[in-house]
Amino acid sequence: MKAFQHLEVWFVTGSQDLYGEETLKQVAVHSKEIADSLHADPAIPLNVIFKPTVKSSEEIYAVCAAANASTACIGIITWMHTFSPAKMWIRGLNILQKPLLHLHTQFNRDIPWSTIDMDFMNLNQSAHGDREFGFIMSRMRLKRKVVVGHWQDPLVIGKISNWMRAAAGWSDWQGARFVRFGDNMRYVAVTDGDKVEAEMKFGYSVNTHGIGDLVKVINEVTDASVETLVHEYAERYQLMPVLQKGGERHGALKDAAKIELGLQYFLEKGNYKGFSDTFEDLHGMKQLPGIGAQRMMGKGYGFAGEGDWKTAALVRAMKVMGTGLQGGNSFMEDYTYHFDPANPLVLGSHMLEICESIATGKPNCEIHPLGIGGKEDPVRLVFNAGAGPALNASVVDMGNRFRLLVNEVEAVAPFAELPKLPVARVLWKPYPNMNDGCAAWILAGGAHHTCYSQNLTSEQLEDFAEIAGIEYVKIGKNTDIYQFKNELRWNDAAYK
């Protein structure tokens, strides 16, 4: 079963009429074999659909128009088995609205030393045919992913798969709706931004509802459905004794369940893929949504606090990209540092809302006071997240462009109990090291809010940024602050 059973990428092979029927027949047989092999590969997360060889401007235009019109098709893979004069591609590429991966491969892996002749040479021309195609894409200043190598090489298949996941996240954003309950946290800069530009650039819309609209839905939730959900909490989580049935705070657990159900109904009814809220606008709410926001994220919705719609949308896209992979993706905030020179760490968390998809073991369900918001104590899930490679990603609005910033990190398991910390938490070491990683993040204007991912790679996010046509900046093992500052400076010039 494919992770994205309903999605397709089309495999399109370019050629021309010059070669005669026999060669073109061979081209089609080889192309189909490659497309079918990719389709059958368990590492490929969606359906690869073979398309007949395109040999003229008209056929190229037609396949690009069909790809645009197909709701299942989220991108095309192109390959020039033979030579396909690339002026034929101009009209088609001009209208293509779907992501493109240029697979620079050839059918045979090795040169058949003892039998190679001119017929073989005429059939197997991708080494120069793909260069002709590459030129026209560069000449037209078109973004694409170029993957080079034999089509059966697992590394090649892995890169194709990465790009497909990025394309799936991108496709999910097109026409997506996100709702903000209340506005931006007062005076906060990085969570704000241009929603009109975002809709033009990213394809998703962000619109506001007064918190009262949500409160109305929450108030209509039935006691029976609250009972059912409270029962599910008791099954899935370790409930603090006071929250259990008969406990003195059991009423607060019911209130939290009612908020979660209200959120769920509101999002389903409005066909929303994510939301943000703010503790500064909770009129009529009993608690700031804690467990409710955590579990909505667990179900695949995007979320970020304090009106941060950019991060909410990013969390959603990254959850889609990670479909079917081990590990999770969560809203995150760099909270507190451990500056021990022998073992420097960042403690990531939020007031409440960390997604249970990154939890190790069975989360605790707890109730504690919250200093801000002025509401009753919120119920929340408390847990640790596991060790291993991870990353933080942030989209910031630089005024004249959006920037996707990624920091690769190494998560570490907590080495001490944190008995008084009432929130879910993660510990990580940023690459290339604590000081340079944090310095680079600050220099790049990265937000304090991020999406933390256990199952995506920086390459997938780079593909995503390329598809979106936005700036991509990575902080990783090889980041050097001097070069990094130059990169930011040069990018500023490039986007002028």
Contact residues: Mn ion, CB under 5 A:
305-306, 333
- Tell the smallest beta-carbon distance from residue 295 to Mn ion (Å): 19
DSSP 421: -
Q: What are phi and psi of 31, to 5 degrees?
A: -60, -40
Q: How far is the CB of 262 from Mn ion (least distance, A)?
A: 22
Q: How far is residue 287's CA from residue 296's CA, in Å, rounded to a whole number?
A: 16
Nearer to Mn ion, 8 or 306 (CB): 306
The C-alpha atoms of residue 157 and residue 76 are separated, in whole angstroms, by 15
C-alpha atoms less than 13 angstroms from C-alpha of 41 in its C-beta half-sphere? 21
**Cβ contact 124:25 at 8 Å:** no
Q: How far is the CB of 266 from Mn ion (least distance, A)?
A: 22
Q: Which is nearer to Mn ion, 8 or 333 (CB)?
A: 333
Smallest gap from Cβ 433 to Mn ion, in A, equals 25
Nearer Cβ to Mn ion, position 130 or 353? 353
Nearer to Mn ion, 305 or 437 (CB): 305
Per-residue tokens: 346: 């960042």
Q: Give CA–CA dist 200/220, Å, rounded.
A: 36
Owner of token pair 């969390």: 315
Min dist. Cβ of residue 280 to Mn ion (A) = 12
416 exposure class (CB count in 10 Å sphere: 0-12, 13-18, 19+):
exposed
Residue 480: count other Cβ atoms within 10 Å of its Cβ. Answer: 12
Non-local (6+) Cβ contacts of 343 within 8 A are none
Distance from C-alpha of 300 to C-alpha of 39, rounded to nearest angstrom: 26
Question: What is the rounded distance in angstroms from the CA atom of residue 370 to the CA atom of residue 430?
Answer: 29
Least distance from Mn ion to the Cβ atom of residue 258, Å: 24
Least distance in Å: CB of 308 to Mn ion?
A: 7
**What is the SS3 assignment for 90?**
helix
Least CB distance to Mn ion at residue 364 (A):
22
Minimal distance, residue 350 CB to Mn ion, in Å: 6
Residue 169 or 289 having the CB closest to Mn ion: 289
Structure tokens belonging to residue 447 = 């937000």
Comparison of 185 and 398: residue with beta carbon closer to Mn ion? 185
Asked if omega into 154 is within 30° of 0 (cis), the reply is: no
Residue 333 or 397: which CB sits closer to Mn ion?
333
Q: Which DSSP category does 149 fall into?
A: S
Report the run of H or E that residue 120 belongs to, with start and end.
helix 118-123
336 strand-pairing partners: 347
For Mn ion, the closer of residues 59 and 306 by Cβ is: 306
Q: Which is nearer to Mn ion, 129 or 305 (CB)?
A: 305
Identity of the residue numbered 205? S
Minimal distance, residue 132 CB to Mn ion, in Å: 50
Backbone φ, ψ for residue 223 (5° rounding): -60, -35
Structure tokens at 211: 């918190």
The residue (of 306 and 397) whose beta carbon lies closer to Mn ion is 306
- State both tokens at 402: 């959006």
